Each structure stands twice: as structure tokens, then as C-alpha cells.
Chains A and B, each alone.
Chain A
Amino acid sequence: MTEVPVTRPELGDVSRLDDIIDRDALGEVCRSFFELFGLPIRVISADGNMLANAHADREICGYVNGTLGGRTSCQQTVSAVRRLIPDDEAGTIHACFTGAVYRAVPIRYQGRTLGRFIVGPYLPAETREVPRSLLLVDQRIDATRAREALEEMPRVKVETAERIAAHLRGMLDLILFSGHKAHLTTEMHLLSVRESYRELAEKNSELQRAYDQLQELDRLKSNFLATVSHELRTPLTSILGYSEMLTAGLTGPLTAEQMDFIGTIHNKGELLLKLISSLLDLGKLEQGHLALQIDTLDPVLLLKDLRETVAPVAQKKGIVVEVVAPESPLPPFRADPLRLRQVLGNILDNAIKFTPRGGTVTLAVRPTTLDAGEDGDGFGRALLAVPRTSLEFRVSDTGMGIPEREHEKIFQAFYQVDGTSTREHGGTGLGLSIVKRLVDAHGGHIRIESAPGRGTTFFVTIPEAE
């Protein structure tokens, strides 16, 4: 047999009257009872607390308390009544020396006795004479005076007293029940809120843990990317260097076929190097390690220079590359020339790649301003917007276009609008994600206007570096 467990308060359990009763409401009910029937009512909890006391001083009480013996006896009676534990549902009677009586009735709830109420003092209806006990309590008590004083005390028949007690018991039961209900509802509200909070807090910390893990993984991935790219580049540089030396004839003349093979090795090596550099850039950009090297540049010259770079490929495909400069010459512009060149070069490469034979690619630039906080929801723009001198570069092609639903996605790493285009056009799917990050690093922004079959225009706005 195991030990009986330590008991603790259970949900829905009531062991103290004070817990579930509203004292003010109880006081009012007792007072209205007192006013209706003229009978004093007291409610006492099981641990002896007086919870309600509706009475008025009786003339007889004032009279006997004016004598020493009367006062002593009165005090004894009152304290005996307060300690009275009724053993009967209908109540236990306690007689006062004045001939009046008190009726103590148990208050039970859910099978438990939580306290008692006391009705009285009142005179039993059959009382005729002034009792000897009253006259004997002090020699100064006068029989005629006592009789007059007793006249004013309410007289109640036994049945009536029992009915009144039963009525009050019924009312108290209702008050207890509704008090208990309100008490429980509040308790459950609190407990439920606490329990829901606990559950949420637990979930939150689980999510936080998962998030921390993911962040750590992300950091590891970037590190891995950077390390691997770096380690790959070193041997690749040797491969490129040695193939260049072979092409330059440092080891003696080569046959045409050997030259062709080495040319292929060199070209593929260059491609691989580009890919690795892209990966390295992406890694750096993700970690936020990329530092811009700000310098002055001539934007129109930059565009013309880009056109020169792609000219051989464009010519081969029969594509015209135009540079449109603003009418008034642009002042020198401060940005990272190398990175800006990388951004525009990448977009230009794509434009040529996706424009069919005979098409046109246009490079343009115009001065503009860019508001800080332009990406927000527009609220407080008047306060937040600080216009900055900027340049808007535009690269338009007459290619196949990009469906609108893809406009956001093309800036994600490794994303290509059409998976088949990788095989047809080459590329890693990293270009535009790097472009986007480089533009972000400048504090600028990039957007597309395009529709399938109607060509694509990339707008790159770069604020001047401070």
C-alpha cells in the first residue's frame, strides 16, 4: 500500500466560505432579510470569521447591558452563540437568559459544512412571562420595565422560524453557487491564459533554437563557399598560366591541333574561374564582407567601354549595341567603378545572350534623384526622404522577354527563368543575384520592365557615394 498523497486544493473545490462569497452582496441580502422579517442575521464561516451581521440594538439588550450582571451574562451568551456549531439541518436552538432564542443553521455546499448562519435573538411566540433567569441576573432589573422592553422584541412561531431559516438557506445556496461559478470562471480564465502562454513560450523557444541553428548553418555554408572557391582558384590559376605559356610558345612551336586543344583548355579554364569568382562574390556579399572601393568615374565612358568589350560577341550574332548619352554632359560620378562595371556588364552579357540575331541592345544613362526610404510603404516619406544625386542606367534588349511573375525571382541565387536556358545559353544562375547584391551594397535599386516577346529593360539606379 502506498502512502496517501498530500492533498492540494483541486479545481472546483471549495473549502472556505470566504473564497467564493462576495461579502458586500451577502451583507445586503442579510440586511434585507432583517428588514423584511425583523430578525437579526449573522453569517459566520467555519473558521470563525463573521462574514455578515445584520441587526439593530434591542431595547431589552440596552436595558440589561446597563447592569453589571446583565452585561456579563449578555457577553457570555453572545460568545456562546458565536461558537455554536449546529448539528441539525434545521438548526440548533440556543436560549438567552432574557427568554429570547438564537437559531444556528449550518451552511453546507457540495456536501461540506462551510459555516453557519444565526437567526435571532427573537422571542418564541408562546412566551408569556418575563423569565426568572432575566430577573435573577442582576437585582437592579425591574420586572415591569423588563416586560415593556421585551414587548418590542419580535415574536416568532417555531414553524415560521424554521421556514425563514430554510428560505435563507436556499438563498445562501444560490449565492454560494453563483459566487463559486464566478470564482471558477475567473480561475479558469487565469489558468487558461497562463497555460496558453506557457505553450506559446515553449513553441517560441523551439523556433528560436531552430532559427539559431539555421543561422549557424548559413554561416557555415558561406564560409565553406568562400574557402572552397579560394582553394579552387589557386590550382586553376596554374592551369591557365601554363596553358598561356604553351600558347605563347615558351616550350617550342606547337601544331595547329595542339594550339586548338590548348585554346579549349584555356577557354574552359577561364569559364571555370568566372564561376568560382561569382561564388566567391556571392559568399562575400552574403556575409556582408564586400567593401566598395569608391572612386570617380565617367558614366558615358563606362558604357562605351562596355560596348567595346562585348563588340566581338555582338558582331558575331549580328546584334547592334547602342549607347545613348544625355544631351548635356554628365559630371564625374562617385561609385565603385569595378563593381558598377560588373553590374552593368552582367546585365549587358545577358541582354546579348537572350537577344536573337539582328536585334538591338541599348545602353543609356541619365541623371536622377533617389529618395532614401523609397522602398517603404510611403508613410512619413516627407520626413524620411532625403533626395540623393543618382544615375539611372538602362539596358534594353529586343529579346524574348521575362514573364512578370518571374520578375522577383530572377534575382535569387541559382534561379533561371527556364531551366533549359542553362544548357542553351550557359551561365550559372548566379549573375543577377550578385548584381542585385552589388546594387544593394551601393544603396541603389534595380527593377525590370518586360513582357514576353517585347524585350526586357533593366533599370539600375545608383546614388552617388558620399
Chain B
Amino acid sequence: MSEREREVGSLSAPERRRRRGIATMFFLGLGALLAFVIIPKQNETVTFGFVMDKEWVAFHEWSVSSKTGSLGFAIVALLAALLAYLQFRARKTIRLASALFSFTFFMSFLCWAASGKFIPFTGLLQGGLLLSIPLIFGAMAGIISERSGVINIAIEGQLLAGAFASGVLASLTHRNWLGLIIAPLAGVLVSLLLATFAIRFAVDQVILGFVLNVLVIGITGFLYQRLLIPYQSTWNSGSTLNPIRIPILWKIPLLGPILFNQSIIVYLMYALVALITVGLFRSKWGLRMRAVGEHPTAAESVGINVNKVRFRNVLLAGAIAGLGGAYFTIGAVGTFGKQMTAGQGFIALAALIFGRWSPLGAVAAALIFGFANNLQSVLSITGTPIPSEFMLMVPYIATIIAVSGFVGRVRAPAADGVPYKRGESH
């Protein structure tokens, strides 16, 4: 059958998707050539700084003329697209080529946009990592919930609840580490509603998640106006957790200060990502989770209590997102602000879909969003030819391009969003 199909020249769905991805790469690469090289602009030197702190120094900075830099990187980007095309012929994964493409495309843009400016490269990456922390927590929460078959649109609410609870408790007790304990509990509380209504009452999960977000935004906003503003010194004067330097590791050039000079929340995040990546595919817990998310009837037939597994995993997801919420308050600024998560939960959701429900994919997507966002704020300070509003749109447009071009018809866990009732076959 597949032989005949190939003879007729039709491609399978993943092949079509890949072809579309490669076409997008060529298109963007040519666009980069046109936009960044041919469109005339003052040709000054771009300087990248690679030193941030007192880490060991490999090299201090690198200067390149704007035009040479953007032309060079655009050509490499096009070569990467070509490589992807060749790999496609060789029926290999195009991951390497697309990673190379993304990096060089980004550098080409940077050389063009930052003409005559100094770009603190290490700082750019570090800021990007910081911005992607809540996204990674949120996406991990989404993966656990959705892999077990419950759609989690309430990530935003779980993050916000965690941010609120940790900020308030840290302020009331003057012990900001207590925030690390209460934040997951606040997330669990939101999840408890999600799980109860989704599993016990079989409420539509997309709608439910949306409504829970409104509920948390409402409650935290109400309490913020009612208590946190008038009695700020008791209710909203928390402080931030101190960064911890991991001995030796933080001295590694470039990566050290980015990865190993962070607060405990970030280290917890590394551990979490590792645990979930391994646990999801290599443990009983992960196997059961995937079983109830893909084929609950089969899971039930081997004696797994489907709804119990789902319930527990949704609560766990809430705890993870809640902990991520703590990053907004005690991890970053100390005090709580109204709606301070500002839609990050939805971006986390996009990262999760972008990453196709796989932990590492979601982390990669979250990092891309974080970097794009940080690039925008760095460039808005140094000044760019592009209005800052358009820079701010980039992560969102990238998501749309990704879900419609690169990712195409995504396949969620088969029973994601479908309530399970014993004795009803699906």
C-alpha cells in the first residue's frame, strides 16, 4: 500500500508536514537575505559581549560589521535549510538542521537589528532563561495533566494562585522559603477544582480550565485590592530568594553564570524536567499515566483505576504549576502584582503543544519563547529599527507559524479531554 502511494507521488502526513517545514525555512531564510542584507541600513559594527560575572573567561567579545554578520548568518541559515532538504531525502530527522537554522536566522537578525550596538550575549541568554522559567513549569504541569487525559487550560490560574500564595505567605511570615511550600498547595487547590469538575462531573475541560482562570484572576485581584494594597507592609512586602552559586560549575565560561548562579526554584526546575523526562517513559508512574491518557479502557482492563490515576496526576500538575508561580513573586520581584502572570500560562500551553506533549520539546519551545521575549526587551533598550510592539508580537506569531507550519496537525494523547466512565467504551 505504502509502496503504491509513493509511486503515485503522494506523501504521508509527517512527510508533508516536514516538507512544509522545509519550505518555511527556505522562505524565512530568503526573507532574511532580502530584509537584513539587501534593505540598506547604516553598516556599523555589532559587538557581542561574552563576560558577565567573575567566571573564567574564554573570550571577551566579538565584533563584526553588521552587513557581513547578517549576510554570513543568512547564508548559513539557507545552507541549514538545504541540509534539512537533504536529510529529508535521506529520511532522517531534520532536528539538527532546524536547530542550526533557528540559531543562524536569529543571529542574522541580531546582526542587522543591533547595528552599531553592544549586545551582552551572556545577559541576553540569562534573561531568556529567567523568562522561560514559569513557562517550563507551566508546560510540565500541562504535560502531566494532558498525558493522563485531562486538558489543562488552567495553567494560568495555577501559576497565578502559586504566585499569590507564596508572595502573601512570604510577606506575612517574613520567611520567603515558606512561599516554596505554600505555592504548590495553592496550585493543587486550583487543580482540585479542575479534577473534581472534569473527572467527577465530566464538565468540558477546555471550558472548565478557562473558567478556573477567570475565577483565580478574580479572587486574587479582589484580595489584592482589598488587602494587599491597603495593608501593603504586612500583606505584600515579601523579598526574593537569594541566588545560590554551584561551586566550580558557575565558573564555566558562558554557561556557568547562566545556568549555575540561580535561585533554588531554578535548580528545582532542572530536577523536575529530568525527573519527568525519565519518569514519563521509564517508570510505572509514567506508563500508567500514558495508558490512561491514550487508551483508558485498555488501562482499566489490566486493573488500573483510570480516574484515580487521572485525579492524582492532575493534582501533581497543579503542584508543579503552583511552584512555578512562586517564581513570579519570591523568585523574581518579591511582591505580588495584579494579574502578574500576564498570560504566561497560555504561552506555556502553546509551548506544550509546540513541543508535542514531550518534556524536552516543551522545554525547547519555552526557551525559544523566553529568549524571543528577552531579545525584545534588550533591543528595545538599545533601540531597533522595528517598533517594539512588533517585537512583542514575535513569540505569538512564531507560535502560530509553528502550529500551522512546522507542527501541523498535532496529535494530543488520544483520550485527552475525554471523561472516562467505567463500562463505556470509547
The reply to whether chain A is a binding partner of chain B is no
Spell out A's residues near B (CB within 8 Å): none
Spell out B's residues near A (CB within 8 Å): none
